[in-house]
A and B are shown apart, each in its own frame.
Chain A
């Protein structure tokens, strides 16, 4: 059963960047898409984008397209999400999740990582 372990909480200043990691263990990493989903305090879930490690190409939500980079390192079974030009509204818990689906779509996410809290404050 795959488990996703994320890096620890971060505190960043506005305008800076953050890179969050998500290491998979106990299962196949390369052939399943990994997505990043964030949740602002008291708010709902918001998909940021994802990657299929074996192909290496990422797909981003339009809202984040110019600020987010998602990569995957097959050698360490680790996915990364880097978010730049941080602002206070980026304060949220960031989750990675393994995706599955038929064809080229994402039908469901399972499992999810434990989440990484990012606080953006001056």
Chain B
């Protein structure tokens, strides 16, 4: 079965750029979306179809996808961006999620 691999955790200083990766076989051939989840809350879509931002998502969130790796980039990271982030793709009639990355802003 298809797998998406994310680093379990990462930290970033306020104002710096956070880059969260998601790896999978030939992932660049698939669309990737990203979700932000804060404690006790439902996931929120922040990037879809690799690089599109839904209405209401700040411009500091961006995405890319090429080769075997998709990347969620948060520019000028703020304390409110501290959360778990999940990537997601579609493969062989199945939805696949990455294991999630806990982003700490300190």
Cβ–Cβ < 8 Å partners of A108 in chain B: 31, 33, 45, 48-49, 88
Tally of chain B residues near chain A (CB < 8 A):
22
Cα distance, A97 to B42, chains bound together (Å): 10
Overall SS of chain B's interface: strand
In the assembled complex, the CB of B44 is this many whole angstroms from the nearest CB of chain A, namely 7
Binds A, one of B13-21, B68-76, B93-101: B93-101
14 A-B residue pairs with Cβ-Cβ distance under 8 Å, sorted by A, are A44-B86, A44-B98, A44-B100, A45-B86, A45-B100, A50-B95, A61-B94, A62-B1, A101-B31, A101-B90, A107-B33, A107-B90, A110-B54, A112-B42
- Kindly list 20 other residue pairs between chains A and B, CB separation below 8 angstroms, not including A45-B97, A107-B90: A37-B97, A44-B97, A44-B98, A44-B99, A45-B43, A45-B86, A97-B43, A101-B31, A101-B90, A102-B31, A105-B90, A106-B90, A107-B33, A107-B48, A108-B45, A108-B48, A111-B45, A112-B43, A114-B42, A115-B42
Taking Cβ atoms with an 8 Å cutoff, the residues of A that contact B are 35, 37, 44-47, 50, 59, 61-62, 95, 97, 100-102, 104-115
Taking Cβ atoms with an 8 Å cutoff, the residues of B that contact A are 1, 31, 33, 35, 42-45, 48-49, 54, 86, 88, 90, 93-100
